[in-house]
Structure 1
Amino acid sequence: MQLLSNKTAILSTLCVDQRLILNKVHEKNLITSREYNNLKSINKEDVEGHVVELLDKILNKGETTCQHFLNILQTDEDIKATFPELKLQQPKEISFPESIQELYQLNTRPVGLCLIINNESFCDGSMRRGTEKDAESLAQVFSWLGFRVLMCKDQTRDQMNRTLECLWSGCSFVTPQQVLQHGDAFVCCILSHGKKGVVLGTDLIPLPIKHITQTFKASEQSALSGKPKVFLIQACQGGQKHKGVALKDVEADNCGTQTIPEEADILVAVATVEDYAAFRHISDGSWFVQSLCQQLKERCPKGEDITAILHHVNDDVGLKEGSRMPGAMKQIPEVRFTLRKRLVLTPY
């Protein structure tokens, strides 16, 4: 990687005016506004420490961003005038798709709310063992990503519905001392039993997933209109069991005046497709949630957006085996979205 090989030379040169470089990479959308503010306010004793943080942030975003950064260093007139001694091998001009620069702006602190509804004990005496592990993992990773986490335990169908409506309309959900601030994004995690197209309350009464997402339709009154809303649902969608099929050529080594549609800016990721079961270990948690949390931890610092990360989750979960007999019990999550921009979550 050219940036890595030139890192020492770039570091010593850019220390002359690190604020200019920081402003340029923000102007060119190589970093988000929140990353820009964080880099401005980091507690470093010297200029070099600030430049190191910036270069490491760019490196973590992958080859495409690194090449774009090098291109800026070689072509921007202000940078060339300020750092005439900066001579690198001329990077090839790169054409970037418009979508790379179209990010949801996540500038608030906290970034937004993460609601976790964790249904463990049901009226028929059944228990979803292992769900506490999922709830803890989700709370940890979304706190790390800058969200304020709200946890609700064992809710009936009506209680779930009221909770969601209160969050959307802004009615009193927390104490007056804790003013509810929606921020720039909303994440809703529901861990429960389910059937085709629905999740179940602890009273075993179904709440349609479609009703949940439609509660958050854009309106002129809502603080979340035009902002990303992500729904992560760990629940069976039926009783059938997926079976695997062998892949050819693959071997196993070890077996403004603008308007937007009212249902825009929504992503729904369900642990499994309709009619099929979702697996959950009684102590280690569910395949879907544990894979999701692991992929977020690995890939958010690299600047990957949520849809790309969920592709990796699908691949990871799809490779898991629920039986000692390969292919006998499988699972594949389902993702659908109406997001209009790239949603990139970064560690706080």
Structure 2
Amino acid sequence: MSAKDTLRRNKTSIQSILCADYRLILNKVYERNLISNREYNNLKNINRENDEGHTVELLDKIMNKGEQVCRDFLQVLQTDREIETTYPELKNTLQVDASLPPNSVQERSLDEPLPAAKRSRKEQQYQLNGNPVGVCLIIDNENFQDGSKRSGTNKDVQSLAEVFSWLRFRVLMCKDQTQDQMRRTLSCFASPRDLSQLQGLDVKEWMTSGFVDLRQAPRHGDAFVCCILSHGEKGAVFGTDRNPISIKNITRTFGSTDESPLGGKPKVFLIQACQGSLCQRGVLVKDLEADAASPFVPEEADVLVAVATVEDYVSFRHKKDGSWFIQSVCEQLKEGCLRHEDLATILSRVNNQVSQRECLGKPGAVKQMPEVRFTLRKTLLLSPDV
């Protein structure tokens, strides 16, 4: 039986038990990120409802979120010690369903992989066991050949260096690269290279509070992060010569091959660049609703790309405080990694946070909506060096 069916079948019993202290269960599901901040505030402030009414609203909200959230909710009910102490009757209510007759077997094709629930937690996560975990490469284009300058990008570079070194990555940076230099840099980092080739690209390494000359060739670890900070156009970023390199070609440079040191390992790309010249405007929304493995992997698997804005639109950068997108990424990584959240969840929070930004004194005049797309096959959890 699915988790959603389990909740539906036992809904009356569960809600009568949980209403004894509905605020506790509301806070628990919020702590586990099963409901959004907006949903939490809405549920907390329901008017003209008794305790059971609040609980019914919460259960309905959980059930409408789909099978995975229902499964996570049941796990909270069955494993949280404070819940077990507060609602002892739940133990009997949530016994394993025995609707199938004894010795019954559900048929499954031999070629079909085991459901995710049957696999071990370890098999469902990318294993990041090295120290350092891997390399974080930052390509920062600040000064362009036409005389223009991306003021504020230094703040983004520092924030990225601090957070990814905290997450146990070796942080390297290349500054002000043309299209051709960017291609060479990405090609070097996509495969093992000797130190002399990297020194020719003027690679710097982050050490505690600043960048110094690279002294030791980096080795690929269990993950790779590439941050590109530049101007851009639809589907592409610019070198300092204003010549574009497509985001698709950037990610495909790191595609899995038989010789690739990053085959089967997660590769994350954070792109801070405009994707067009249009400016998004805010829309006033009334009554808004809350919202057994093969040894082969696809060539373009294990990639996550997070772009500052959707195609055709500009992104925003403060001349002193850095860009909306990169600053949000670093802030949410610091908070989410301490809560053991996976990267996709953290970046969804970035999307939400950036989407709510406004220019001072101009509500709704300009907006920004980042975009995340990925071919990750497993959960990617980054752990801080604490």
Query: Separation in 2 of the partners of 1:215 and 1:285?
Result: 28
Partner of 2:112: none
- Residue 93 of structure 1 deviates from its aligned partner by 6.4
Question: Which of 220, 242, 249 matches 1:211?
Answer: 249
Question: Which of 119, 134, 140 matches 1:118?
Answer: 140
8 A Cα contact 1:323 1:329, kept in partner:
no
Partner of 1:34: none
3-state secondary structure, aligned to 1:190: strand
- 5+ residue gaps in structure 1? 6-61, 75-87, 251-255
Which amino acid letter does the alignment assign opposite residue 314 of structure 1?
Answer: N
Question: Which of 250, 274, 282 matches 2:311?
Answer: 274
Q: 1:285/1:65 Cα in 2 relative to 1: closer, same or farther (>3 Å)?
A: farther
Question: Which of 226, 229, 232 matches 1:191?
Answer: 229
Query: Separation in 1 of the partners of 2:223 and 2:140?
Result: 20
Q: 1:327/1:180 Cα in 2 relative to 1: closer, same or farther (>3 Å)?
A: same
Query: Separation in 1 of the partners of 2:79 and 2:164?
Result: 29
8 A Cα contact 1:240 1:276, kept in partner:
yes
**1:228 partnered with 2:266:** yes
Query: Separation in 1 of the partners of 2:241 and 2:312?
Result: 21
Which amino acid letter does the alignment assign opposite residue 183 of structure 2?
Answer: N
Partner of 1:150: 172
Larger radius of gyration between Structure 1 and Structure 2: 2
- Residue 325 of structure 1 deviates from its aligned partner by 2.4
Question: Which of 255, 261, 285 matches 2:298?
Answer: 261
8 A Cα contact 1:227 1:265, kept in partner:
yes
3-state secondary structure, aligned to 2:373: strand
**1:244 partnered with 2:288:** no
**Which stretch shows the higher mean deviation, 109-118 or 166-175?**
166-175
3-state secondary structure, aligned to 1:141: helix
Q: 1:117/1:99 Cα in 2 relative to 1: closer, same or farther (>3 Å)?
A: farther
Alignment deviations for residues 46-97 of structure 1 (CA, whole Å, 9 cap, x no partner):
xxxxxxxxxxxxxxxx9888777669xx9xxxxxxxxxxxxx9696569984
3-state secondary structure, aligned to 1:207: strand
Question: Which of 309, 320, 324 matches 2:346?
Answer: 309
Partner of 2:375: 338
- Residue 104 of structure 1 deviates from its aligned partner by 0.4
8 A Cα contact 1:104 1:342, kept in partner:
yes
Query: Separation in 2 of the partners of 1:68 and 1:152?
Result: 50
3-state secondary structure, aligned to 2:281: coil
Which amino acid letter does the alignment assign opposite residue 196 of structure 1?
Answer: K
3-state secondary structure, aligned to 1:109: coil
Which amino acid letter does the alignment assign opposite residue 171 of structure 1?
Answer: R
Query: Separation in 1 of the partners of 2:95 and 2:217?
Result: 49
Alignment deviations for residues 91-123 of structure 1 (CA, whole Å, 9 cap, x no partner):
656998458820000001100100001110000
After superposition, where does 1:171-186 map in structure 2 within 5 Å? 171-173=193-195, 174=198, 178-186=216-224
- Residue 172 of structure 1 deviates from its aligned partner by 2.4
Query: Separation in 2 of the partners of 1:299 and 1:267?
Result: 17
Query: Separation in 1 of the partners of 2:350 and 2:371?
Result: 10
**1:170 partnered with 2:207:** no
Query: Separation in 1 of the partners of 2:166 and 2:74?
Result: 25
- Residue 170 of structure 1 deviates from its aligned partner by 1.2
- Residue 185 of structure 1 deviates from its aligned partner by 0.2
Partner of 1:107: 129
- Residue 323 of structure 1 deviates from its aligned partner by 5.4
Query: Separation in 1 of the partners of 2:188 and 2:231?
Result: 23
Which amino acid letter does the alignment assign opposite residue 313 of structure 1?
Answer: V
Query: Separation in 1 of the partners of 2:80 and 2:222?
Result: 31
- 5+ residue gaps in structure 2? 1-23, 25-71, 98-115, 200-213
Alignment deviations for residues 137-168 of structure 1 (CA, whole Å, 9 cap, x no partner):
00000000000000111111111110110011
Q: 1:313/1:151 Cα in 2 relative to 1: closer, same or farther (>3 Å)?
A: same
- Residue 322 of structure 1 deviates from its aligned partner by 2.7
8 A Cα contact 1:269 1:333, kept in partner:
yes
**1:290 partnered with 2:327:** yes
Query: Separation in 2 of the partners of 1:104 and 1:295?
Result: 20
Query: Separation in 2 of the partners of 1:323 and 1:161?
Result: 38
Query: Separation in 1 of the partners of 2:175 and 2:282?
Result: 35
% same residue: 56
- Residue 247 of structure 1 deviates from its aligned partner by 1.7
Query: Separation in 1 of the partners of 2:268 and 2:366?
Result: 28
Which amino acid letter does the alignment assign opposite residue 140 of structure 2?
Answer: N
Calculate the TM-score normalised by the size of structure 2.
0.64
Query: Separation in 2 of the partners of 1:116 and 1:94?
Result: 50
**1:127 partnered with 2:149:** yes
Partner of 2:101: none
Calculate the TM-score normalised by the size of structure 1.
0.71
